[in-house]
Amino acid sequence: MAGLSKTIVLLPGDGIGPEVIAAATAVLADCATEFHHRFTLREFPVGGAALDRAGAPLPPETLAACREADAILLGAVGGPRWDGLPLGRRPESGLLALRQELGLYINLRPIRLREALAGISPLKGALNKRIDLEIVRELAGGIYFGEHRTERSNGLERAFDVEAYSSAEIERVARFALARAAARRQRLASVDKANVLATSALWRKTVERLAAAHPEVAVSHLYVDNAAMQLILAPEQFDVILTSNLFGDILSDAGAALVGSIGLIPSMSCGDGPPLFEPIHGSAPLLAGQDRACPLGAILSAGLMLREAFGLRQEADWVETAVDRVLARGYRTADLAEPGSVVVGGSEFVARLREELRESLKQLEPYGWGV
């Protein structure tokens, strides 16, 4: 196959964002070299870094570059430096504005227990369970984007956050989740709070209606409190989980903990505009600049980009397999360590990974893996 030519916008952001994006960029560069692709990388500020440099968490140049990209890779936003700012002006609002401006209403978060990491799962007997699920989180609506307001009357402060969903907003993300489940193990769990919330009642009704078009997918509905419990008690029952913006934010951190570390989990946001890939971890200001952060969430996000945005399955498998081999050999950043591990900094982990990437190509080239 002739190599692809793609423009990737890098948004390192804050805290550990720049380190993990540098790690993922190195892997993308190796991929381009080895498989003869051309990835043009363009870097722009977002979040706190953009507030400091350009006075806004999503400067117009950053947004314009993102609109023209084939894909976007983001590190993390936020940090104590900007915690005093009002809600709409914080670094996080840059990320939220980006998601909304680009119409990225779908967020996919794969949660899979990697064999080499079964020992660090907090779940008893994790080794015997198959944890391999995808959370499909609605990303451009719900309570994140409803009115946020604080008012004062009679000496009391009251705050409001409005959750609103239209059936069209539910439909577009539900269709994606149903198709995803159809292509996997044909099970979809839709998570809501339909016993209390009107938005959830509409959510459930809409998902039920669409499910009729997918008789091959077994659709179930769970209340979010029960879903949180089930995720911990029996995560192997889940294939695809579909849920709202807020519930998806919460459940995906819980899912990440089950498979060892939030540092591991990649994500893809897609919809109308260019897809955005980002680790689900935050900016971890306490780790920033110390070479201690786990680069895997960002590296696996780059892998997800190769697979989902560019259709480069072989390249994505190459990255995933090398990650598993390095972990199996015991190399771990501190968050993934267990007795017997060789604890290394992020940059040494990346060096080992790149060695493994090269080695695996040398071994597999004669069998037609390479190009």
317 among known catalytic residues: no
Among 26, 58, 95, 242, binds ligand IPM (CB under 6 A): 95
Contact 341, 330 (CB under 8 A): yes
> Nearest residue to ligand IPM, using CB?
92
- Structure token digits, residue 9: 């916008």
Catalytic residue among 14, 30, 144, 192: 144
**Binds ligand IPM (CB under 6 A): choice among 14, 19, 30, 92:** 92
Give the nearest distance from C-beta 125 to Mg ion in angstroms: 27
Whether residue 161 lies in the annotated active site = no
User: Of 253, 291, 317, 324, which is the active-site residue?
Assistant: 253
Q: Which is nearer to ligand IPM, 93 or 200 (CB)?
A: 93
Sort strands 187-192 and 148-153 into parallel, antiparallel or unpaired: unpaired
Alpha helices in 81-191 (DSSP H): 91-101, 167-182
User: What is the CB neighbour count within 10 angstroms for residue 315?
Assistant: 25
Minimum gap (Å) between residue 96 Cβ and ligand IPM: 6
Which one of the listed residues 192, 193, 239, 335 is annotated catalytic?
Answer: 193
Instruction: Determine the length of the chain.
Output: 371
Residue 60 CB, shortest distance to ligand IPM, in Å, is 21
CA–CA distance, 88 with 99 (Å, rounded to integer): 14
Active site residue 225: yes
* 95 contact, one of Mg ion, ligand IPM, none, CB 5-8 Å limit per kind: ligand IPM
Is residue 357 within 8 A of residue 303, CB to CB? The reply is no
Residues whose CB falls within 8 Å of the CB of residue 313, separated by 6 or more in sequence, listed in order: 307
Residue 291 annotated as catalytic: no
Beta strands 276-277 and 268-270 are antiparallel
Cα separation values, 231 from 125, 185, 189, 280, Å = 14, 17, 11, 18
Active site residue 124: no
Of the ranges 81-89, 205-213, 245-253, 339-347, which one interacts with Mg ion (CB under 5 A)?
245-253
Reported as half-sphere exposure (CB side, CA atoms, 13 A), residue 222 has a value of: 22
| Amino acid code (one letter) for 299 | I
Nearest to 215 by CA among 185, 182, 245, 183: 182
Burial class (CB in 10 A: 0-12, 13-18, 19+), 235: buried
Total residues interacting with Mg ion, rule: CB under 5 A: 1
Q: Which residue is nearest to Mg ion (CB)?
A: 249
Residues 246-265 contacting Mg ion, CB under 5 A: 249
Given candidates 227, 280, 293, 357, which one binds ligand IPM under the rule CB under 6 A? 280
Q: For ligand IPM, give the closer residue by CB, 6 or 137.
A: 137
14 makes contact with ligand IPM (CB under 6 A): no
Using DSSP, state whether 325 is helix, strand or coil.
helix
End-to-end Cα separation, the chain, in angstroms = 8
Strand, coil or helix: 71: strand
**Which is the catalytic residue, given 52, 83, 205, 225?**
225
Residue 240 binding: pick among Mg ion, ligand IPM, none (C-beta 5-8 Å cut-off by kind): none
Smallest separation (angstroms) from ligand IPM to the CB of 246: 8
For ligand IPM, the closer of residues 274 and 353 by Cβ is 274
Q: How far is the CB of 92 from ligand IPM (least distance, A)?
A: 4
> Which residue in 232, 150, 158, 220 sits closest to 192, CA to CA?
220
Binding site for Mg ion (CB under 5 A): 249
Binding site for ligand IPM (CB under 6 A): 77-78, 92, 95-96, 249, 280
Q: Catalytic residues, which ones?
A: 144, 193, 225, 249, 253
